[in-house]
Structure 1
């Protein structure tokens, strides 16, 4: 038996409760993992509260990522005692996830924990940090360099945004952080932001082209904000789009693309290839401060339902880790 947060469908509502489950209920995959740490992402909060159409199979154990120790394995790449990370692959949506004491996954979904990285550090980074690193790597691949000008980060107090600010600053970029929470401005500057942008200034109907402000951007908002960023991106700039907190529609024109050569790059952290996952995690281990995990907020599995509600209410900042 093991403890898990279980989501069940109740009419049109979602009911979340802490339950004791049997290992025989874990049917996905060929590797059994003892979950040392999980985390609670924005997507998890939507699933737990039922405020987003995240869950595809019922009942569901949420938690789109986790780090832990292999308890049993029928996969050639993983042995008992190995420390592993899982992010993405529909876990917490289509397959039972990491907000539990145990989880089962396909071995091809797992990657080894980088040398020197603890499970808590891995989950302080989590899907959010992994997505932020993939976004930085995408901007680098697009040829964006620090001397070209500032990089805008939207949703800067969130999980992806706050790690992106750190990573960009570490890489030598001038970082402009967009947020609707001015009370966190000093914290964002501590992370490495040189300027704070009011998110309301970006959430306006854009012109086809506007004054050129950004060499690039990492955007976790989408919608009208992304459209405006594109209209303000400099010649030969690039925007990494990795979220949709502000909406899925993108009403823009071809003008930034054909007159300024702007690149819009989609970041798919869910089904990223294993080789690129390993590269990103190794860079994360080297790029983030040694005490990074100490700056995450830690909660228990029992607290996760309230934490999900607080996250959607905008009461939290940065990263959240969950210890089962």
Structure 2
């Protein structure tokens, strides 16, 4: 409700209406041309003053429109979460309740899961309880065999070629254009195992670059986007380009190598790694369709989104923006 109220207040901002009225008055006051040479009836100083008012008002309207678009997007995102919760099967909701601890819940995080994946595997965190039930890794051999068998009954499918598949040099050249990664850049990070736990090569989480440790060796410090279980900020790790994948940055200039528009478009049938909606975990998924992304308030934002079918997800299809979708790093 807070975001909906904020959207309404932004739309009803009297300053925006005042700017529109000033622009309309400036347009009405713009001098007419006179004679064959097209000379204006007013003096140059009058035209200059009118131009300044018109330019200032249009700038205010443009900024207000961007703010309104952002508020609308945030409100729609909140509504999408509420709709997803509403449509969730009752048995999944009950399962989620059984998985909750007896301790009071911590404040809801922007990346905190809301469905059956609400207890992600956090093997790299020293604060994780070893007895906490976690989802089964999404691409176990038994699962792959079952899903492949089920999909085979639907008829043969041709898997399109994958960007960078089997071409490590092309991948290195692509990401080299984005280096060094800047502070605040979001990445898909493969955390190390700790406490003797067996490393899972398919565990990838959302992380944020906090600083560059060594630019020549491409070593960075990254921080888990999800807070620790005691409420402290996310765990920090040392990483390099072998253990992380830079995510498309919608805040980068549209012509930047980091912008979503510079990333390859995955065609239908492609195998990708994507952020599962409302979680901080990446999972293997199949591209069902490439669609237009929801409208953004930013100029030059990503144009694509993907309808994805995640593994181990009861054949549900989710729409995920391209900024959360990258190549599948596995074989």
Shorter-chain TM range is under 0.3
Q: How high is the TM-score relative to the length of structure 2? A: 0.24
Higher RCO (C-alpha 8 Å, min separation 6)? 1
Instruction: State TM-score, norm by structure 1.
Output: 0.24
